[in-house]
Amino acid sequence: MLARPSVAVAATELSLGQTGGALDIVHLRPLVERTVGDPRVTVALLDGPVAAHPHLAGARMRQVGGTSTCMVADSRACAHGTFVAGILAASRESQAPGICPGCTFLVRPIFAEAGFPSTSPAEVGLALLEAIEAGARVVNLSAEATGSADPMLDDALSFAGRLGVLVVAAAGNGAILGRTAIASHPSVLPVVGADARGRPLPDANLGGSIGRRGLAAPGLLTSLDATGTVRRGGGSSAATAVVTGAVALLWSLFPDATATEVTNALSGRARRRAVTPPLMDAEAAYRALEVLDRRRCR
């Protein structure tokens, strides 16, 4: 069973615009100002379908595995997919600018417009394999499987790890404390949504693997609405897109870095025992990779 990805309207707006606070609490603004992203960095969006929003008109997007556009603009699956896509790919001139609009995006829906948010771990595994085959370097996964592990999903996540594809996955919004099938996988970087003060949102899933290897990021954002406007929303899916965007920008600036190096730079090397992960520090990650890059060039 997959936890429902939340796109609930939030009381607090943390705009990704130039005056917003979402960039600042995770020190992402300097990274955003350095680059819009490199088109050679390919980001897969495993989410709902994405609407043809005017602020995505210039984005490099292509579909993987069937229909990736919205048939029903006001469906919850379309709203969720468009919201997450906007955080990453919206034009920097948008009311809700994207983090890495210069990157290339693969849209592979895992949520059908009818019956959202129903899907299966096997479907997520298949979507991941298709995204990897299509050239994804980082995968933004907006679903968190609960219950026992699925062999196909587990194999797909392991395959991603062996190839150096970084899977950034939402920890979920079920207020669950414990182990989950995706977040506990060693190839996954799990993400928890945080409020304006950096504290986990009330409905955030937490646990040992999330605390040890995961990150927290702003989970209350302004992004694109499937009807052509912008809106407020939040949850771990929004936070996951923020971390994915940081990964994409770091790889744009340091293309020779490995997935392990990027993950270590973002997460730090300190041993953790808490169930709550630390806030991402994008500028610290940049500095860490800059040091590695200098050593590599000697």
Q: What is the pTM of this model?
A: 0.91
- Residue 269: what pLDDT? 62
**Average pLDDT per 10 consecutive residues for the chain, totaling 298 residues:** 32 38 89 96 95 94 79 84 96 94 96 73 92 97 69 94 96 78 90 92 87 92 93 92 98 96 86 84 96 85
What is the CATH topology of the domain spanning 22-297?
Answer: Rossmann fold (3.40.50)
- Residue 129: what pLDDT? 96
The domain locations on the chain are 22-297
- Residue 3: what pLDDT? 36
Q: 254 is written with which tokens?
A: 């340091």
Task: For CA atoms 257, 262, 268, 273, give the dihedral sign.
Answer: negative
- Residue 190: what pLDDT? 94
- Residue 146: what pLDDT? 53
Residue 61's nearest CA partner among 52, 74, 70 is 52
- Residue 72: what pLDDT? 76
- Residue 17: what pLDDT? 45
